[in-house]
Chain A
Amino acid sequence: NAGVMQNPRHLVRRRGQEARLRCSPMKGHSHVYWYRQLPEEGLKFMVYLQKENIIDESGMPKERFSAEFPKEGPSILRIQQVVRGDSAAYFCASSPLAGVTDTQYFGPGTRLTVL
């Protein structure tokens, strides 16, 4: 059973460009969480999604950031018009069906560098 997959692992963008980060949850998992980790910091929650629904986006900046988890395909975290402050590691986690939503399994992360 493959773990949580994220791609790309490394992404370099210039200021003003768009960044798209993809996350494929573990097989059988329908809950996806996105976290951001700044250097030497802990992870900060951004958004929680289930298939086709955003459950909690309280940690996501109101502008430039969006997330989706379509019926088919991976979850996407999209950052428009990136700025240097967006440089960070972005981690996706998944958990099983409702009732066991607290055990989160993390992917390897996407390290975004904004030049």
Chain B
Amino acid sequence: QQQVKQSPQSLIVQKGGISIINCAYENTAFDYFPWYQQFPGKGPALLIAIRPDVSEKKEGRFTISFNKSAKQFSLHIMDSQPGDSATYFCAASKGSQGNLIFGKGTKLSVKP
């Protein structure tokens, strides 16, 4: 049973474009939704995170949109750059437990 479903599996975007990655979750007890960025051979790095009491959070070029009723959240990368080329993972957790449930990842390639 996959508790966090992520799409698309891969994404190609032109430099300057908007990259959009979507995630859907099943467990309504989840209360923390982070996005991680991972470069080849490296560990995941926290990019941005949101809690369900807000519908949107923006940090620089990165925005999370959250739809509690639909149990969906998405990452938007504005003005995408070649340096953004990486694999992005959404995740979810229940605050009382702490362990993260990850999506399968989206490999983003930004073409110059």
Interface residues, chain A, CB within 8 Å of chain B?
A: 4, 6, 31, 33, 35, 40-45, 48, 55-56, 58-59, 91, 95, 101-109
Contacts and interface: CB of A to CB of B under 8 A. Distances in A.
Of the four ranges (under 10, 10 to 19, 20 to 34, 35 or more), the interface on chain B belongs to: 20 to 34
Contacts of A108: 41-43
Contacts, number: 63
Contacts of B35: none
B82 interface: no
A104 B32 contact: no
A95 B34 CA distance: 14
Contacts of A48: 97-99
Interface in B29-54: 32, 34, 36, 41-46, 49
Given A108-B42, A108-B43, A42 B104 contact: yes
Nearest to A91: B43
21 contacts: A4-B43, A6-B43, A35-B100, A41-B104, A42-B103, A42-B104, A43-B44, A43-B102, A45-B100, A45-B101, A48-B98, A48-B99, A91-B44, A101-B98, A104-B46, A104-B100, A105-B46, A106-B43, A106-B45, A108-B42, A109-B42
